[in-house]
Amino acid sequence: MGKFNQRVALVTGASTGVGFTIAQKLYSLGAITVITGRNEVALQQAAKEIDPTGQRVYAIKMDVANAQDFKTTVEKIEQQYGVLHYLVNNAGITGPHGVNIEDYPLEAWHEVIETDITGTFHGMKYSIPAILRSGGGAIVNLSACNGVTGIAGIAPYTAAKHAVLGLTRSAALENAQKGIRINAVGPGYVETPNISVLPQETQQWMASTHPMGRMATRQEIANVVAFLLSEESSFITGAFIPIDGGYTAQ
């Protein structure tokens, strides 16, 4: 069926957007795909859309910022399938836009940090032991193009995506000889349902920030994630791969 036959993958924040398409891609390549999210209704709809038979997609409501939630999710996966081979730490939020640090609400800061940094930490903390028990595998963490650049008005999100790179590189070094490869990707602006409802001029501006003059498709992000999880990237670990149409080359 595909390169991920009989392999089990966990994708967080997969009820919509990029996470949904990553899960869809892994499923199409043969993986048993576990998807998580905070919205139960959207999550179940996503699972049915990816796999109408319900045989290779398993939906679990979970908040990545909650350590017990993540721990329980990994336990459920091992109980259900006996193994876990891949993790995609996709869940994340941007927080308010266009707000300077001195005006940024403290509660919004904490929500971004807990979801984007602590959620990624939780994912690796609880999934790495399970992946090791399964004989090894790979992890991809979603950073962003502003994981290596600054963007005014979204400092917490920018800080969080920088931190995801630090977590990725440290974890990659810790596991380099244990059979787990850990990498990060950095999308630019991506055509998602959330982006599609923005004013047309906003979407045009987003596209114009990329030297290629357009936004990424969700499939383009999913393709790179699948490559990094696969054995085709067997000598890549601790890497940051921009998927940004040249944004970070400027």
Question: CA 192 to CA 212: how far, in whole Å?
Answer: 18
- Which of 27, 126, 157, 189 is catalytic? The answer is 157
End-to-end Cα separation, the chain, in angstroms: 41
φ, ψ for residue 177 (rounded to 5)? -110, 15
φ, ψ for residue 92 (rounded to 5)? -170, 160
Does 157 participate in catalysis according to the annotation? Answer: yes
Nearest to 36 by CA among 104, 79, 90, 100: 90
The answer to whether the beta carbons of residues 64 and 91 sit under 8 Å apart is yes
φ, ψ for residue 49 (rounded to 5)? -70, -40
Just list the catalytic residues: 157
